[in-house]
Amino acid sequence: MAQLKCIYANAHSVSNKQEELEAIVQQDNYDIIAITKIWWDDSHNWGAAMDGYKLFRKDRQRRRGGGVALYVRECFDCLELNDDDERCLWVRIRGKANKADIMVVICYRPLNQDQETDEIFYKQLVWEKPHDR
């Protein structure tokens, strides 16, 4: 894994942008696609949303909006790591041929978050190994 080609999008609801996202990903051949504010719910089958990718997602509970998702190319050996924070999603990509693993995290931070909550949030970004599933 010499380099990973990644893209990030703040979607503010992916459901009406899925075709556009797939076209961009197909054209530029990304390895990892990170999306915040997915706004998905159980009324859609998002697990089959993009051919050639594994989908990891974390929906916001008890609230409308928010949520994060990571698409990782299927050729990578990946594992989602447990984390109690519904705003963050951690995925470990296993390194090949004695290469180190890569940790990928995507987090959702609301714009109107107060300073105290921000400080707690930033401390959580210092990776303290979430438990393997």
Confidence of residue 35 (pLDDT cuts 50, 70, 90): confident
Q: Is residue 132 part of a domain?
A: no
Q: Is residue 130 part of a domain?
A: no
Question: Among 7-11, 29-33, 77-81, 124-128, where is mean pLDDT lowest?
Answer: 124-128
CATH number at residue 101: 3.60.10.10
Q: Look up the pTM and report it.
A: 0.75
With b for 16 or more beta-carbon neighbours within 10 A and e for fewer, the 28-64 pattern comes to eebbbbbbbbbbbeeeeebeebbeebbebbbbbeeee
Q: Is residue 70 part of a domain?
A: yes
- When divided into structural domains, the chain yields a total of 1
Q: Is residue 114 part of a domain?
A: yes
Containing structural domain, residue 55? 6-124
